[in-house]
Structure 1
Amino acid sequence: MEPVRTTRLVVAPDSFKGCLGAVEVCAAVEEGALRALPGADVVAVPLGDGGEGTLDCFLAALGGQEMVLTAADPLGRPVRARYGLSADARSAVVELASASGLPLVADVEDTVDAAGTASAASASSSTPLRASTGGTGELIADAVGRGAREVLVCVGGSAATDGGTGLLRALGVRFLDAAGKELPPGGGALAALAAIDDSDVPAAVRETRFRVACDVTAPLVGPAGAAAVLGPQAGASPGQVAELDAALGRYADVLAAHTGVRVHDLPGAGAAGGACGGLVALLGAEPASGAELVAGTVGLAAALEGAALVLTGEGRLDGRSAGGRVVSVVAALARERGVPAVALAGGIAGPPDTLHALHASGLTAAFSIADGARTLDELTGSAAPMLADLAEQVVRLRFG
C-alpha cells in the first residue's frame, strides 16, 4: 500500500491497568496502524482518569520535569515518589498513587500471610484504619515550595481512607481531639476529631489553585461513600468500613462547622478515601471528572480536528465505561467533530447493554484483543503485540 500522508489517525487510550501504561498502549496501536497505513500521520494522546498512570500522560503530552523525592508511604515508611512540574515551575501534577497508593502496602499483607501468626494478622488488620495520605501532601508541599501555584491532584488508587487529613497535615493543617491534642494518622482516628486548626497553612498554599481529578463520583459518607467503596479495596473488614464511615461522618461535620462547606454528599468528595472532600472544604479545590480534565489539559479536542479516525481503549470495557471514563469522553468529543471512534480493549464484559450505552455516547465500535480462549496471564503477557495486530485490522477495515 502506498503511503497516505494526508490521513490523520489519533490514538487516545487509557492504560491497560496492571499490564500497559497509556504511553505503551499508544506505541503498540501506532505500530499496528502504520503497518496498515504506512506514512499516515499518527498523533498519540495518552489519557487517564485521575488514577495511577495519569501523571505519565501529562508528562508525555506537555513535557516538563519529573521530580523525584523521598516521601512517606501510607504507613509512614520512606518511599521514592514523583510528581510533574511544568517547565516554568508554575504548575504541577501530583499523582496520589505515587506516595499513597495501594501497591505500597501490599507487602504488609504478603508478610502477614506468609507468617500466618495471630499477632501479625492483628497488626495487619489496623492498616485500613491508620493508613495516611501524608506522603502526597509532601509532594504537594515540595511543588508549592518550588513556585507552583496551579496544582492538579490526581486522586485514584489510594490506600488510605483518611479524608485527605494526612495530605492536609503536610500542608499545615492540624486535626485536634477534645483536649486539643493532635490526632494520630489515619481515618480511624477521626472519630475523636473535635476541632481543625488551619492557621499555620502557608500563604503560598492559600494562593495556590487546586484542582482534583476524580475517577469516582462517590460522596464522602453513606452506603456509596468513601469507606464503603474504598475500604474493602484497601482490606477493611465490614466492621472497619462501618467504623471508617462513622469517623468520616464526624470529619464532615467538623469540616462544615469550621469552613461552612458541606461535603457529606458532594459527588466526588469520597474519591481517594475522602481526600477530595478534604481538599474542597479546606483549600477550595475544584473537583472534576478525571478523564474530562485530563483530555482538556492535554488538548485532545484540538488533536481530533481533521482526524479520519480515533482509536481509544482501556483494559476492560464494562458497565462503568460509559459513565465518564476515558472511552466515553473520547467518543463524545469525536462525535462532536464527526470522527469515527473505535475502542480496543483487553476484554469486554458487563450487561448486554454495555456497548449500547457506549454507542449512545458516540463510540462507533469496540473490539477485544482476545483472539480465542486465553488465560489472563496470556492476555497480559502478550497485550502489546495483540493490540498492534488488532489496530492493524481495524485500520485496514476503515481504509482498505
Structure 2
Amino acid sequence: MAKRIQLGLKQNWKQFSLLVLVNAFVGGMVGLERSIIPQFAEQEFGLASKSAILSFIVAFGVTKAVANYYTGKLANRFGRKSLLLFGWCLAIPIPFILIYAPSWNWVIAANMLLGLSQGLTWSSTVVMKIDLVGEKDRGLAMGLNEFSGYLAVGIVAFLTGYVAQTYGVTPYPFYVGIFISVMGLLVTILWIKDTRHHVHVESKTNETEVLSHVFMETTFKNKTLSSVTQAGLINNLNDGMIWGLLPILLLTLHFNNQNIGIITALYPTVWGIGQLFTGKMSDHLSKKKMLFWGMFLQGIAIIFMPFATSYFWLASISVGLGLGTALVYPTFLATIAQATSPKQRAESIGAFRLWRDLGYAFGAIISGITADIFGLKYAFLLIGFLTILSSLIIKFRMPKNLKS
C-alpha cells in the first residue's frame, strides 16, 4: 500500500481540498461566538464585569490547549481521522447548550466542549495536511488551512452579528452552529481518509534530527521551536483579548450589532485571506523576518485601537491586525514542521498548540482584570506592549539563518 502513496499537494489535491472544507467548518464554530457573546452575556445573564464575561474564553482556551497537546500525542496511536471524528461529535451539542442555557455556567460548559472539539478537529486537519504535502509546500498548505479556518471565522462572525441585529442575540444566531457541526461530521465520515501511511513514506527519506524530549525542546530548549512557541502564545493572548474586549469597546462607542459584526469580522477575514499569500511566502522568504514583522505589526495595531473612535479608523486597524496575524500564523506551523522529524511532528505541533491556545486563557484573564481595575484602554496598551516584546524575542533569540 505504501508504494502507491505519493507526497505533494498536486498528488493529493482531492483529499487536501476536502480537508480545507472541513477546516472551514471548524473555523465557523469559533466564529459563531465571535461578535455576539459579550452582548449575549450582558443581555441574557446580566454580567457587567469584564473578567466574568471573558471567563468563557478562559474555559475555551484551557480545554483547547489540553486537547491540542493530546491530539498531537495520540495522533499516531489512534489515527488522525478517529480524533477528527471525535472532535465533531463533541461539537454537535454546543449550539443547543447555548440556546437553552439557564445560567452563565452552562455557557462556560459549552465553551469547554468547544475548546475540546477545536483542539481535536483543527489539530487533526493541520497534521493531516502536512502529512499529505511533504516538505516542498508546507507553508502553502498551512496558508490554505488557516485561510479556510479564519475566513470562516470572519464570515460566521459577520453572519451571526447580522442575524443578532435582525432577530436578537438568541436563539437564531446559534442555528448556524447546528448546520456547521452536522455538515463537518458528515463530510468527515463520508470522505476523509487517514494519513498515517504518508508519514511512513516521508520518514524513509527525512534526515531531520530526532528530538530527545519533544515537549521540553518545543517549549524551552530549542531556540527555533521555543521562539515560535512563545510568539504563538502571545499571538493568541492578544487574540483572546480582541475576542472579548473589542465588542465591548465598540459597544461603548455606541455601534450597533451589524457594525460590530463587520469590524470584528474584518480582522479574522483579512487574517484568513492573507494566509493564501503569506503561507506561500514562508516557503521562500525568511521565516524569522516574517514572524518578527507580523508580531510587531500586531502590537502597533492593538496599541492604537483604543484611541480610535471612528468606524473608518477602527476598521482600518482591524485590517492591520489581520495582516500582522496572517504573516505569522502559517509561518508558525511551517517552521515547526521544518524543524522536527515526521515521526515527532504531530507531538511537537501539539506542544506548540498547547502553549499557543493557553494564550487565549492568559489573554482573557490578564486583559479582563486590567480592564476591570484600570479601564479598557489600559488592557489594550498592556497586551499591545507584550506583543511587541514577543517580536523582539523572535528577533534576538531565533537563529538568523532560518529560511525556506
Please give the range of the TM-score, normalised by the shorter of the 2 chains: under 0.3
TM-score w.r.t. length of structure 2: 0.24
User: Taking structure 1 as the reference length, what is the TM-score of the superposition?
Assistant: 0.25
Q: Which structure has greater helix proportion?
A: 2
Relative to total residues, which structure has the larger strand share, 1 or 2?
A: 1
Larger radius of gyration: 1
